[in-house]
Amino acid sequence: MSVTARTEAIALERVREKLEAGERLDGADGLALYESADLLALGELAEQARRLRGGGDDVYFVRNLTLNQTNVCRVKCRFCAFARSARQEGAYTLSPAELTAEAGRAYEQEPYNELHLVNGESPHVDFDWYLETVRSLHAALPTVHLKCYSASEIHHMATLSGLSYERVLSELKQAGLDSLTGGGAEIFSPRVRKLIAPGKEPAENWLEVNRVAHGLGIPSHCTMLYGHVETLAERVDHLLRLRELQDETGGFLAFVPFAVHLENTRLDPEIVPSTAADALKAIAISRLVLDNVAHVKAYWIAMGLPLSQIALGFGADDIQGTVGREQVFHAAGAITETEQAVDRLVRYIQAAGRVPVERDTLYNEIRRWE
Ligand code: SF4
């Protein structure tokens, strides 16, 4: 065994001992896991962690619809192929009534439990446009869980309106908002944000929006966008900051790691695209480090269904849902289908030796396939 392999084996053994003793992993452990090339050992450790923390064979998914009301955005993240400026070809902004009609038509074709709505941060709308949208969706689809807007969009609404995060979130909740999406976290390091998303709010604001939301009883999701200019230490720092907030509030429902898609973006063309091994590592290490977030998603829209299926052996317990009409990842070159029929999700989960469970957004069970 080479010196490097021996050092890696010692680090993984230390993680295993901590897991078995119920001890929390620290930043040095997280980095050692990322530096390890022993992918199968990482998967085994992540699965051990998942089961030690109460996970069983269940794998969750939701019947949902993803919509985007506008792709007009002032932020211009370098990794984004979805955003347009208002006069650019392909720019669109739907009124609350148009969006509600689209959501209603989709529901008539195929009922869903969750509506996932994210947008560009348009400077050409006001807070009332958001409130009216949520009110209108809630009135038309009262049984559908409205999972709308990232913490970054809430920050944008606060900027547009001059209102506090608390007031923005309270008014949205009163209008019918049920939870927040997890986008906009990217990587928290200011060095990285400056390089890939210089127009985006600092990490502290993203975290504060989530803190306030959780305090108001609005749960949310958390994410990490990796595979661009960040270091492994910056990925670990990102996970630790999420874990710290979750210790404080307990309001994150699930964590979702995404690899950046490079096509049609303004990122450095020299960036080497992430591999399947990177995706599996991200899943496994987030399961190990985020010991207080109950669910880790293998988001098939970004990873593809076959790799999501494999990620179920690396600590993931959720593959998101039927999704429908996804545009953000596909603009940046994702080649996955944009809609997965329930029977296909069920078949992939069962073929991995696990039990498919249809859930709602809050992880209440709707149906299981034994
Ligand atoms: S990622 Fe979001 S905030 Fe950034 S440019 Fe794209 S739409 Fe705008």
34-71: per-residue pLDDT in tens? 999 999 999 999 999 999 999 999 999 999 999 999 99
d(CA 116, CA 148): 6
Token pair belonging to 254 = 């699930």
- Ligand 1 centroid to 242 CA: how many Å? 21
- Taking all residues of the chain, what is their mean pLDDT, rounded to a whole number? 94
Considering the entire predicted model, what is its pTM?
A: 0.94
- Average the pLDDT over 107-132 and give the result: 96
- Ligand 1 centroid to 184 CA: how many Å? 8
- Average the pLDDT over 165-193 and give the result: 98
CB 88 within 8 A of CB 122: no
Q: Which residue has the CA at smallest separation from atom 2 of ligand 1?
A: 120
Token pair belonging to 303 = 């990873």
Task: Return the best residue to mutate from 68, 76, 181 for the ligand 1 pocket (most ligand atoms within 8 A of CB).
Answer: 76
77 lines ligand 1 (CB under 6 A): yes
Could you tell me the end-to-end alpha-carbon distance of the chain, in angstroms, rounded to an integer? Answer: 44
Task: Return the best residue to mutate from 78, 119, 121 for the ligand 1 pocket (most ligand atoms within 8 A of CB).
Answer: 121
Q: Look at 340 and 101; give whichever has higher pLDDT.
A: 101
Task: Return the best residue to mutate from 82, 84, 149, 205 for the ligand 1 pocket (most ligand atoms within 8 A of CB).
Answer: 82
201 lines ligand 1 (CB under 6 A): no
d(CA 252, CA 286): 14
Q: What is the pLDDT of residues 219-256, one digit of tens each?
A: 999 999 999 999 999 999 999 999 999 999 999 999 99
121 lines ligand 1 (CB under 6 A): yes
- Is the pLDDT reported for residue 189 higher than 80? yes
